[in-house]
Every structure is written in C-alpha cells, then in structure tokens.
Structure 1
Amino acid sequence: MKEYLVKENIYIRYQDFAREELPILFIHGLGCASSFDYPEVVNQESLRNHRCILVDLLGAGYSDKPLDFDYSVNSHAKYLNKFIKDLGIEKLILFGHSLGGAIAIQLASICDNVIQIILSESNLDTSRVGSCSYTISSFLEKDFINEGFKEIIIKSRKDKNTMCAGTLSNWLPIAAYKLSKNAVIGRNPSWRKILYELSIFKSFIFGENSLPDNDYQILQENGIHIEVVENAGHSMAWENPKGLVYAIAKTYLVDFNTADKIKKLASDNAEGTVT
C-alpha cells in the first residue's frame, strides 16, 4: 500500500497495481473501501494487464480521517484530481460505485485526463428513502455520531450483512454523515445532468438483483452503455467479483489508445450505433 499527501499531515492510502495498459482508478461507495472491495476484482484475468489504482477515500478504510474535512462529493473529487495529476497519469478510466460514482462523475467533469467512466449503480440524483445515505442523514449529527453509527453497524450484523458492517466500522462517523447529507441534498446541476453532458465514453453497470430499474432504459436513451452482473445486487464486487470483471471487460476500451478515437466511439454510442 502507498500513501499520498492531500494536505499537511493528511494522507490518502491506495494500492497501485502497476501494469502496462490504460490505468483504471477505482472509487468506492459509502461505507466501503477500495482496499477491501476490489483486490479480487482487479486480479481477474480480464483486468490483469491494466494498471489498477484502488484508493480509500479520506474518512474511510486505511486513509486518514481528519475531523475538519467537509467530506462532500466535490471536495473528494478535488483532491483526487490533484492525486491523478501528481501521479503523472495522462489518460485513465474512472470506475465509481454507488456514492463513489457521484464522486467519479464530479471528478470526470474537472479532470481532462479522464477518457472513460464506468459507473456501478451510481448515485445520479438525490438519495432516495430506504438508501443507506438517506437513513444516515435522517439522524441529527450529534445523535448519529453518539448512537446512530453504532446502531447501523449492529443492525447490519443482525441482518447478516457482516461485510457491510466490517467496512463501515472503519469509517469516521462524521465522514459518513457529511457525505450522506451531501447525497440527500444533491447538487445543481445534478450528477445525472453532469454525466449526460460528459463528452467521454460512459457505461453503467447494474446488478441483476437490483432490476427492474427505470434508469435501465433512461440511461440507454441518453447514450450510456449498459451492462448487468448476474447473481448480484448493489454490492456486486463482493457478491460476484468475476461477474463484475466480465461486465467491466465488456465496457472498457482496451483497443483504443487515443482520446480522439474514444470520443468518436462515445459519439457513435450516443447515436445508438454501438452495442
């Protein structure tokens, strides 16, 4: 594992599987950590030649957990943009899961180095009732920090969702709360609108168990390539890592090495000529 200085005495930590083909930066969702979710994914055959960078966001996993950071989607995207530049990465693919997808969308909108985005059941609009972020944000801040955080972990264990309980327990409670609040409030323009306006190749992955979903058709109508991971739901990296890799392999542009070619493919896809 490596570390990167975000600002004075504050580091994110990441794994860098240094390989020759186009880099893919993995951004995890709320309550997760890339160091936990994706090592098995990136070591599957289809991704084994790609440089894969698994970053734990501030407040999560092995990264630092400063109390004075605002933990908004935009703030995460800003330090990740600088991280990409400082690593000297000229072109890369972004992969974002759940609320990490919103961060990936925001990052793609400010980072010229991004040539493709792959979203895994990403937040596109404000959080819905029943989602983890909506549940967290329904607490008062002090109540969540003092009681709610532990309550959600205990409930996850009782519901036999022990993987979620294990990763969430390594979050700073205020980090989970502030990011959740941001998800419920959303932004203007929405992450959905930003995604639609990105002039890069765009893909969205659903877990089979999450369907039907209205966005399956809506996203296709807006020029976004769709894949489905069989025998999995929202936590597809845990539930079917091989299936997730198969879906990613059907979306990433392994044969395209210039931004011009990728933009051409994105344009063709928007016109409905790419399947």
Structure 2
Amino acid sequence: MRHTPVTPNGDRLRWVELPGADPARVYVHGLGATAPAYFAAVAAHPVLSGRRSLLADLLGFGLSDRPTDFPYTMEAHADALAAALRAAGVAGAEVIGHSMGGTVAVHLAARHPDLVSALVLVDANLDPVSPSRRSGSSGIATFTEEEFLNGGRREVRESVSPFWWATMRLAGPEALHRSAVHLARGSVRELLLDLPLPRTFLHPAADGEPAGAARLRSAGVQVTAVPDCGHNIMIDNPEGFVRAVAGALAH
C-alpha cells in the first residue's frame, strides 16, 4: 500500500499498486466502495495484467483518510486524486472508473488532462438524479447531513446489501453523505462529450442502453454492453468486464 498527503492539512490518499509497464492504469471505485475490493481480481487478470495499476481509494473512503472538513465534491475528489497521481509519478494514465468513480474520472480528465490518456466509465453517473428514499446516492441525498449523522446512516445500513455495507462502513459518514449529495446533483455529460481522448461507457446489457447513447456515440464515445451482470460489472461478470476493458483500451 502506498500513500501521500493530498490536502493542506496532510490528509492522505492511499492506493494499492500492482507493478508493471507504463502507461499506468488507475482504477477508481464508486460511492461507499474501495478500489482493492472491487478491482483487484480484474486488474490482476491475465488479460489486463502486466501494466502498472493503481487501485486508488478516494479521500474519505476505504483505506484513505476521512477528514471531516473536506468538501467531497466531485471536483475536490478529482483534484485530490490528481495530487496523488502526481506524487506517484503518473502521467497519461488509462483511468477506469466505476459509478461515482466514473464521474470523478471525467472531472479528472477535464481538470488535469496531462494525467489521463483514456477513460473507461463503468456504469457511471452522468446526470443528476432526483433524491428518493432508496439505497444509493439518491437515497443518502434525501437526508440533511445532520439527519444522516444522527440516524440516517443506520437506516441506510439496513437497506443496502451486506456486500456493499462491508465497504460502505469504512467510509467517513461526512464523506459518504457529502459525496452522495454532490453526485446526485451534478452532471458530467457535457464534459464527457467534449473530452478529446478515447472514451468508453460500459453498461449492463440487461439495463438497455444508457440515456443519450446516440449522442454519446456521435461524440466518439464507445458504448459497450456487458452481459450477465448488474451495476457491479467487475464483480458480477469479471471475464466479461476484462474483455470489454481490453477491447476499449485497444482502440
């Protein structure tokens, strides 16, 4: 495990690194997740191995520090990740981002273009969502921060799967709530359309094509369906995931 300070207060972002050739690949997890748990098996798969791979935990999640004074906007996440990548000597990386991690990855590419050479978005959040009392970012975003800290987190714990809670429980409560709120409110669709680099959007085949798929394609974004999976594509169908990622990056 490696780490580096990424805020003026010295808060540290941590990542697990697999050795290999450059350019590096950077794997970014979703809300309430941690990159090693979600990506270790696929990053080490023979189809994707051999490349330097950083399985990065965003500030507030997983192995990283959980400051209570960090804003946890998607832009702040991207800037903190950028600081870590620069400290690690990474440039021109292929960035694979799942769910919220895909949103962060789009901001990373837009704000720090020297760090990113290609994007693979794994069922990522591109548009705002209306808060509703269900699990996920939209459910968490229905609480005020005070409500979430004083009982809402327990309510969410009871509504999510044991698999998700196993990593969600590691997140700082403020990090989880603020990230969910900013994720639910934000949009990166136009940013993604304008990025001048190879971009791929992976989605579960069972869900049908993502909203605005035709416009994504017209802007040069490859839209790829992966069979036999739900939202956690790399967990549900790792073989399908590695083939889709390899195909995307081969382009």
Which bin holds the TM-score, normalised by the shorter protein?
A: over 0.9
Residue 132 of structure 1 pairs with residue 133 of structure 2: no
C-alpha distance in 2 between matches for 1:17 and 1:139: 38
CA contact (8 A) 2:59 2:80 kept: no
The alpha carbon displacement at 1:82 in A equals: 1.9
Alpha carbon RMSD of aligned pairs, Å?
1.6
Amino acid in structure 1 at the alignment position of 2:200: S
Bigger Rg, structure 1 or 2: 1
What is the match of residue 145 of structure 1?
149
The alpha carbon displacement at 1:216 in A equals: 3.4
C-alpha distance in 2 between matches for 1:35 and 1:150: 25
The alpha carbon displacement at 1:92 in A equals: 0.9
What is the match of residue 169 of structure 1?
169
**Residue pairs, 1:205-220, within 5 angstroms:** 205-220=202-217
What is the match of residue 197 of structure 2?
200
What is the match of residue 270 of structure 1?
none
C-alpha distance in 1 between matches for 2:80 and 2:71: 12
CA contact (8 A) 1:2 1:13 kept: yes
What is the match of residue 178 of structure 1?
178
The alpha carbon displacement at 1:173 in A equals: 1.2
Give SS of 2:128's match.
Answer: coil
What is the match of residue 102 of structure 1?
103
What is the match of residue 74 of structure 1?
75
CA deviation vs aligned residue, 1:186-221 (integer Å, no higher than 9, x gap): 2xxx41111111110111100123224333333223
Amino acid in structure 2 at the alignment position of 1:24: R
Give SS of 2:47's match.
Answer: helix
CA deviation vs aligned residue, 1:238-269 (integer Å, no higher than 9, x gap): 2112211111011013xxxxxxxxxxx7xxxx
The alpha carbon displacement at 1:9 in A equals: 3.8
Amino acid in structure 1 at the alignment position of 2:64: S
Give SS of 2:127's match.
Answer: coil
TM-score, normalised with respect to structure 2: 0.93
**Relative to structure 2, which stretch is displaced further, 33-42 or 75-84?**
75-84
Give SS of 1:152's match.
Answer: helix
C-alpha distance in 1 between matches for 2:209 and 2:80: 35
The alpha carbon displacement at 1:170 in A equals: 1.1
C-alpha distance in 1 between matches for 2:67 and 2:211: 38
C-alpha distance in 2 between matches for 1:80 and 1:169: 21
Amino acid in structure 2 at the alignment position of 1:146: N
What is the match of residue 248 of structure 1?
245
Identity of aligned residues (%): 28
C-alpha distance in 2 between matches for 1:205 and 1:50: 21
CA contact (8 A) 1:21 1:49 kept: no
Q: Out of 111, 116, 128, which is 1:114 matched to? A: 116
The alpha carbon displacement at 1:53 in A equals: 0.5
